[in-house]
Structure 1
Amino acid sequence: MSLPGLKGTEHIGFTVPDLEEADAFFTDVIGCVRIYELGPFAHERGDWMSKQLNVHPRSIMRKLYFYRCGIGPNFEVFQWEAADGQLPQPRNSDVGGHHLAFYVDDLDAAVAYLKSRNVRVLGEPVASANASAGQRWVYFLSPWGMQFELVSFPQGKAYEAGAPVTLWNPTRPAD
């Protein structure tokens, strides 16, 4: 059984400390296209914000930008003024920790490009093993510390050889 009508991931939403800094990073460095913006959005009374969005009822969503980033889900990027304060950026090991991965055709060229743009790349590209053999990856950080990853597996991954269902892959049509 599955969610009725499920087609895939339409967008990924996340909050940044400075929307204009994030906009410059996503458009000028990554190459995303900003499609539209909304905001501000707030409720001076009632509990709509807590009921609908699970935030403090007096929090203000200052602005959001929607981006198209190549093939795959869109990004909805928010800047909030949280009425009850904000937590620091979680690490992968923290509850709620996360990262976003971009598929690239040439990992080495993409790493060189990021470094030329003064983006902090963590370590060196790693060759995966076992089920992910054939893949190389490396992490990098946005200017505000959000974790991203570059991945590349132009010849596919080892698990695909006998898999009845494969993971979504931006280089080929859906199964």
Structure 2
Amino acid sequence: MTSGAGNVGAVAIQHIGVSVPDLAKAREFYIDLLGAVEVGTPLQWRANPFIDAIVGLKDSAARQFMCRLGNAFIEVFEYSSPQPAPQDPDQGVNRYGYTHFAVQVEDVQACYERLLAAGIRVHAPPSLPGITVDADGTKHGYAATYCRDFFGNVFEIMEIYDHEQIHPVWRAGEGVITPD
């Protein structure tokens, strides 16, 4: 991918960051439940001028870990300073700003059932009629639903085959794929 005239030369989304009130509970969600793999050495800091300048906070203190899920990374923070305001666990996805991230799964129905069993709140059962199967067994379309982690952060689970707007980033037998 090359940069064109006028753009800044961005080539990919490298990671998303999520702030949580309990890092151990977040590990339980991202690592144990979703199946992400922790990478690197977890960080922690207190009143580090370099980090304060990057994150735009004064006298910040936090603990962090980074994990990989397929071709993407998730950076998870627990800030102790400045004290974060509590998040409304029912905040609407219609608010401005980042609203959710999506996770591609092999079997959306099985994932949905496992999340429910783990106590994860799911907005609705997955949209299974969105997946059709040809006579030769080839699947098309996608099925999805929104869920909330232990802290109210919204994420989407998706089983994807082909669609004009939504493309899979993983395929059985192939692993991680790069969209055209």
In structure 1, C-alpha distance between the alignment counterparts of 2:126 and 2:79, rounded to whole Å: 34
In structure 1, C-alpha distance between the alignment counterparts of 2:35 and 2:12, rounded to whole Å: 23
Unmatched tracts of structure 2, length 5 or more:
131-139, 172-176
**Residues 48 and 147 of structure 1: is their aligned pair in 2 closer, same or farther, counting only changes over 3 Å?**
closer
C-alpha displacement of 1:81 = 1.9
**Residues 25 and 47 of structure 1: is their aligned pair in 2 closer, same or farther, counting only changes over 3 Å?**
closer
In structure 1, C-alpha distance between the alignment counterparts of 2:20 and 2:77, rounded to whole Å: 6
Give 1:82's aligned residue.
81
In structure 2, C-alpha distance between the alignment counterparts of 1:79 and 1:33, rounded to whole Å: 18
Give 1:112's aligned residue.
113
1:94 maps to 2:95: yes
Greater percentage in strand? 2
% identical equivalent positions: 22
In structure 1, C-alpha distance between the alignment counterparts of 2:98 and 2:179, rounded to whole Å: 28
**Residues 10 and 97 of structure 1: is their aligned pair in 2 closer, same or farther, counting only changes over 3 Å?**
closer
1:123-142 equivalence runs, <5 A: 123-126=124-127, 134-142=141-149
Unmatched tracts of structure 1, length 5 or more:
161-165
**Residues 150 and 65 of structure 1: is their aligned pair in 2 closer, same or farther, counting only changes over 3 Å?**
same
1:1-175 equivalence runs, <5 A: 1=4, 2-4=7-9, 6-35=10-39, 36-43=41-48, 49=52, 51-55=53-57, 57-61=58-62, 63-69=63-69, 71-83=70-82, 85-86=84-85, 88-89=87-88, 90-126=91-127, 134-154=141-161, 156-157=162-163, 159=164, 169-171=169-171, 172-175=177-180
Residue 109 of structure 2: SS of its match in structure 1? Answer: helix
Residue type of the partner of 2:141? G
Residue 145 of structure 1: SS of its match in structure 2? Answer: coil
Residue 153 of structure 1: SS of its match in structure 2? Answer: strand
Q: Cα deviations across residues 68-108 of structure 1 (Å, max 9, x unaligned)? A: 11x12111111112326425255312222411111112211
Residue 134 of structure 1: SS of its match in structure 2? Answer: strand
In structure 2, C-alpha distance between the alignment counterparts of 1:25 and 1:58, rounded to whole Å: 29
Residue 45 of structure 2: SS of its match in structure 1? Answer: coil
C-alpha displacement of 1:113 = 1.7
In structure 1, C-alpha distance between the alignment counterparts of 2:32 and 2:160, rounded to whole Å: 25
TM-score under structure 1 length normalisation: 0.77
**Residues 82 and 95 of structure 1: is their aligned pair in 2 closer, same or farther, counting only changes over 3 Å?**
farther
Number of matched pairs: 158
